[in-house]
């Protein structure tokens, strides 16, 4: 799990990178929760997703947004963080020029940034969006959404009401050409402290299903 240092618009970006198991391995980028709420790349949910992709042979990168850990710069309300994510994905694609697939995954604030990145990268094949803050940020930019993916949410989430996420899912499901899965985990909160096994099971099962249908 080597450390990597990327050069972003605000300076150094600190990351952790796991190479793929073959030359044309698929790639996955993992985005962490809100920096102002203590979010960082070693958050258990971000690490869980990192390992889920890594175990399936993906070349996988997680990193700290600007101003977090050893990444330089200051929090920028999402604009600079999207630029950081784009820099990280550029590096991941350059490092793996023959990658068979490209995925993005994010948790909470990271889910919002990852979906914006998805819209700017039509080559993305799939996404995982855990606890997307649909009541705090506008997700209307997903029109149309260029890839199929999974939304994972907790029924006991008091930070982001289920109805807000379901509204986004319903809108996306009306689009042709993509398939949106939505798993609502009974009793899980926004922070998943007692439900990390559910993240592992549901995200893992989704990845296995997609990879079986579309081998990477």
Peptide bond into 144 cis (omega under 30): yes
pLDDT digits (tens, 9 = 90+) for 145-203: 999 999 999 999 999 999 999 999 999 999 999 999 999 999 999 999 999 999 999 99
pLDDT digits (tens, 9 = 90+) for 83-99: 999 999 999 999 999 99
User: Do 114 and 105 meet the contact criterion of CB atoms below 8 Å apart?
Assistant: yes
Per cent of the chain over pLDDT 90 is: 97
pLDDT in tens, 55-90: 999 999 999 999 999 999 999 999 999 999 999 999
Please tell me the distance from the alpha carbon of residue 49 to that of residue 58, in angstroms, as a whole number: 11
| Average pLDDT of the segment spanning 30-41 | 97
Lookup result for tokens 């604030």: 109
**Using CA atoms, how far apart are residues 29 and 51, in angstroms rounded to an integer?**
12
Task: Characterize 28-42 residue by residue with b for buried, 16 or more Cβ atoms within 10 angstroms of its Cβ, and e for exposed.
Answer: bbbbbbbbeeebbbe
CA-CA distance, 66 to 10, in Å (whole number)?
A: 7
Task: Work out the average pLDDT over 104-123.
Answer: 97
Superfamily in which the 3-213 domain is placed by CATH: Alpha/Beta hydrolase fold, catalytic domain (3.40.50.1820)
For 131-141, what is each residue's pLDDT tens digit?
Answer: 999 999 999 99
Q: Give the pLDDT of residue 143.
A: 85
pLDDT at 36 over 70: yes
- Give me the residue label for tokens 């948790």: 107
Q: Is a pLDDT exceeding 70 seen at residue 210?
A: yes
Mean confidence (pLDDT) of the chain = 97
pLDDT of residue 1 exceeding 70: no
Whole-number Å distance between alpha carbons of 62 and 32: 8
- With 70 as the cut, is the pLDDT of residue 34 above it? yes
Is the separation of the CB atoms in 46 and 107 below 8 Å? Answer: yes
The model scores a pTM over 0.85: yes
Assess whether pLDDT exceeds 90 at residue 216.
no
């Amino acid at each position: 799990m080597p450390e990597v240092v990327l050069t972003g618009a605000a300076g150094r970006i600190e990351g952790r990178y796991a190479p793929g198991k073959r030359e044309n391995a698929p790639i996955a980028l993992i985005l962490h929760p809100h920096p102002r709420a203590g979010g960082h790349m070693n958050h258990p949910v971000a690490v869980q997703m990192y390992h889920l992709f890594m175990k399936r042979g993906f070349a996988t990168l997680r990193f700290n947004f600007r101003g977090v850990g050893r990444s330089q710069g200051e929090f920028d309300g999402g604009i600079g963080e999207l630029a950081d994510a784009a820099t990280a994905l550029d590096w991941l694609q350059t490092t793996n020029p023959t990658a068979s697939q490209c995925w993005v995954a994010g948790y909470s604030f990271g889910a919002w940034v990852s979906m914006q990145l998805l819209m700017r990268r039509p080559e993305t094949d799939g996404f995982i969006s855990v606890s997307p803050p649909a009541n705090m940020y506008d997700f209307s930019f997903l029109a149309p959404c260029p890839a199929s993916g999974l939304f994972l949410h907790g029924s006991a989430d008091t930070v982001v009401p289920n109805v807000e996420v379901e509204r986004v899912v319903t809108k996306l499901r009306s689009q042709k050409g993509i398939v949106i899965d939505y798993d609502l985990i009974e009793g899980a909160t926004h922070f998943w402290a007692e439900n990390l096994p559910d993240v592992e099971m549901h995200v893992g099962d989704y990845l296995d299903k997609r990879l079986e249908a579309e081998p990477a």
